[in-house]
Structure 1
Amino acid sequence: MITKAAIGPLTQGTIFSCALAEDYVDCVVHGLIITARCDVTNDKVDVYNYIPIVKFDDWLVREGVRALAGRTSRSAMGEMRNTLTQLGLAASILTTTPHNEVFRIIFDADDASSKISSKREQFVKHARRYEAAGKCMQPVPPIAAANALLTLEKAEAGKLVKELCSNAIAEAYYLPGVGPQEERAGYVALLREIRHIPRGLAKAVANGLDRPSYAALQATDSRCGDRLYIPDDDFAWPTGLLQSPFIEHLMQRLTLLFSRIGVSDVNEATVKRLQNRIPAPSGDE
């Protein structure tokens, strides 16, 4: 899937080190070149576009947890509404009143009936899920809150990981590594975050670029500033090349992500009317 990258040229599918990603400060980030091969070969472009690649573990406690939080929040709210419905109460109260206030009024009242008391733990369970999800909605969730939600929703988190590996998450693409024969926990390409580096910087990276050389390059070309993060003990260089047909598959996923068009659903009345046009089974068959 990923082979050794040649030192010298960068091309579509080349993975390089010391890249940047929006919500991954202080994380190891690689970049994957997506600029067309012909444009690179013929030197037609002034910038090379790339998408960031981050470690799976870093993705999981950021974008993964945010996706999990959204699912958990919707599920928990639905379960709290179901609990109220089972008690013959209006679930719509949760749209106007915070869930903790609903608990205080209905379940924590001194005169709560035995029927209501029997549903108390059920409501509390899903209220805790809802609260845990709410702590993970920010761009970079606190690590303690992220780990708590992953533990609480382990089964659903497992489904999310399976979706990632099955390419069922539109904005993410799973990669086993960033170089040949690399056996690690894996990486995730962030399809929604397209970045670029100037041509001169890209060519310098293609041959290996250390921190002092990068500083010198920034001094002569202001466009190169804040395009990479090269630690003192590291250097930016091509670490691997994503092979065919995987690079084409990734590019197809990337294209579909940005070319999707959403339209309104056909209204329910029309659906029912069309369903009613289906012939009913005859009685003699």
Structure 2
Amino acid sequence: MMRVLTKETPVGKYTQGSIFNCLQVSDGSAQFGIIVTARCDIAQQKTRPLVCLPIYQLSEWMQKRGNAEVADQSSSAIKNLVSEILEKYEISKVAIEIYGFDKALEILDQKSVKVQDRLKLEDLEGFIKKKEITTKNKIIKENRKKYLEAIIKNTRNDTFFLERIIHDSEPPKGYVVDLSEPICISKKTLGEISKGLEHVKYEREKDTSYKNIIVRPNEQACFISTLVSPHVELLLQRFSHLYSRVGTQDISKDDLAIVRRLYEIE
């Protein structure tokens, strides 16, 4: 049964969980954003900015972040695979790094490389040259599958997955809330967005009033929906948990020994 995730956001209103477009993220692109500041802080009209999180369509998340992470996860195993093929023909495992991919293939051809070995390397050309993960290689395909499943099943601690964010009739495209990049937006700006912020008005004050917002020509920044309970509370819980974790250096062994002797617990 399809779950209900969002409801319509009334014009001129917004609250915790309200989703809007035109949020500027760290790479300079415009993404959807969602307010995570507590409802009570919004209702009390405090002057401090509200905290928002970026939302990426899953396909764009993979292009910007996911594919590179999958490549990093696969790098060591692929390097070992390539080294095994090269060393089979008594070629240095760093031949590709020294001579380049194409020259290394020429050297292999001179040594009568087996067709299946050459095909394996050809399939990895994009990965070796540009870290592309479009390949038939089982290692990369499996790591990509695991990565996507971790996002969709919400087992990562730095992302929150939603299948749709606009309305219930929207096809499930998949969206990723980035818990690791909180962005502050002023109440004045969110108030303007709640009424529909046109490019003409944005352009006049984009460097002062509308920080962290991008409205391009013929566009309008506006709220598109609001994430409903209990999903919005779960999102806030996940976000809070990510930032409530505190890592500290362990007490030194010498200091620990002194304290233990002091309190006679040796």
Match of 2:18 in 1: 14
> Are positions 1:223 and 2:208 aligned together?
yes
Letter in 2 for 1:2: T
Question: Do the aligned partners of residues 134 and 225 (structure 1) sit closer, same or farther apart at CA in structure 2, a change above 3 Å counting?
Answer: farther
CA–CA distance in structure 1, aligned partners of residues 247 and 50 of structure 2: 30
The one of 38, 41, 47 equivalent to 1:39 is: 41
CA–CA distance in structure 1, aligned partners of residues 32 and 143 of structure 2: 28
> Are positions 1:189 and 2:193 aligned together?
no
CA–CA distance in structure 1, aligned partners of residues 155 and 28 of structure 2: 23
The one of 136, 142, 160 equivalent to 1:173 is: 160
8 Å CA contact 2:163, 2:174 repeated in 1: yes
CA–CA distance in structure 2, aligned partners of residues 72 and 99 of structure 1: 18
8 Å CA contact 2:151, 2:161 repeated in 1: yes
Q: CA deviation at 1:244?
A: 1.7
- Secondary structure (helix, strand or coil) at the match of 2:27 reads coil
Normalization by structure 1: what TM-score? 0.68
Letter in 2 for 1:58: E
8 Å CA contact 1:198, 1:223 repeated in 2: no
Q: CA deviation at 1:109?
A: 10
CA–CA distance in structure 1, aligned partners of residues 80 and 241 of structure 2: 31
The one of 168, 185, 199 equivalent to 1:211 is: 199
CA–CA distance in structure 1, aligned partners of residues 150 and 123 of structure 2: 25
Q: CA deviation at 1:51?
A: 0.9
Question: Do the aligned partners of residues 239 and 109 (structure 1) sit closer, same or farther apart at CA in structure 2, a change above 3 Å counting?
Answer: closer
The alignment-based identity, stated in percent, is 23
8 Å CA contact 1:16, 1:30 repeated in 2: yes
Q: Alignment RMSD, CA only?
A: 3.5
In the alignment, structure 1 segments of 5+ residues that lack a partner are 137-145, 265-285
Question: Do the aligned partners of residues 215 and 84 (structure 1) sit closer, same or farther apart at CA in structure 2, a change above 3 Å counting?
Answer: closer
CA–CA distance in structure 2, aligned partners of residues 179 and 53 of structure 1: 12
Match of 1:150 in 2: 134
8 Å CA contact 2:123, 2:135 repeated in 1: no
Cα shift readout 1:215-238 (whole Å, capped 9, x = no counterpart): 34x17xx53244212233221111
Match of 1:61 in 2: 63
CA–CA distance in structure 1, aligned partners of residues 17 and 190 of structure 2: 14
Match of 1:135 in 2: 130
CA–CA distance in structure 2, aligned partners of residues 128 and 134 of structure 1: 11
Match of 1:276 in 2: none
Question: Do the aligned partners of residues 36 and 133 (structure 1) sit closer, same or farther apart at CA in structure 2, a change above 3 Å counting?
Answer: farther
Q: CA deviation at 1:131?
A: 6.1
8 Å CA contact 1:80, 1:123 repeated in 2: no
CA–CA distance in structure 2, aligned partners of residues 6 and 133 of structure 1: 50
Match of 1:71 in 2: 73
